[in-house]
Amino acid sequence: MLHLNVIDRWITAATGRTLDQHAADPVPAAAHLPQAASNLRHTRTELLLAVDRLRTLLINEDDLNGSTSTVAGPVETIRELAREYRYARNWIDTLIGDEARAAYAQAHPGRSVRRRYVNPGDTVLVVLPHTDSCRRQNLAGHATHIKVGTSDARIRPPGSVNPARLSHADAGIYRDPTEDRLYILQPADNETTDAGC
C-alpha cells in the first residue's frame, strides 16, 4: 500500500523534516503533525474507498437497475468524507504554517531519531512530546516510563501516587502506517536499551 506514505513524503517535502523529526521538536505545532498526518491519511483512505465503491457501482450499471438512492447514498458519503478531508488538510496546513514551528525548524537542524517498535503491555522510557495536552499538564519534555496500551498509555506523573492515562499521541507513541505497528522515538545516538524497564 504505497499510498500510505504519500502524506509523510508530502510533509517532509513541505517542511524539510520527517514526521519523526517533527515529533521530537519542542514546539506544539510540530508535535501535533504526526497525529494530524494520521488523521489525514485515514480520511484520505476512506475517501479513496468511497470513490472506488461509487465507481464500481457505476461500472457495473447498478445505478440503472436500482433506485436513485443507489447513487445518492454513496455521493452523500463522499461529500461528508470530502468535508472531513478538508478539515484534516486545513489542520496540517495550519501546523505547517505555524510561525513558531517554522522559526524553530530554521534555527535548529532536525534531530536524528530512530524508531523502537513496542507492543501493548510493554513498559518503556519515553520523552513526552510537546503537545498542548502535555504542556498543560507540565509533562512535555520529561522522560518517563509508560505502559503501552492498545489506544492509550498509563503513566505516573511526577509527584503523583495515582496513575494517569494519555492518548498514544500525547504519550509519544506512534503507529507505522505501512507495518501497522506501534513505535516510540529514541535519539539515534542512544545505544542503550530499555530491557530493565
**82: β partners:** none
Q: Work out the mean pLDDT of the chain and round it to a whole number.
A: 89
Phi, psi of 166 (to 5 degrees): -125, 145
The reported pLDDT for the residue numbered 3 is 54
The per-residue pLDDT for range 121-137, each reduced to its tens digit, is 999 999 999 999 999 99
Q: How confident is the model at residue 1 (pLDDT cuts 50, 70, 90)?
A: very low
Tell whether the model's pLDDT for residue 103 goes beyond 80. Answer: yes
The per-residue pLDDT for range 104-118, each reduced to its tens digit, is 999 999 889 999 999
Q: Are 109 and 188 in contact (CB under 8 A)?
A: no
The reported pLDDT for the residue numbered 191 is 41
What value does the mean pLDDT take over residues 18-30? 95
d(CA 107, CA 96): 16
The reported pLDDT for the residue numbered 197 is 38
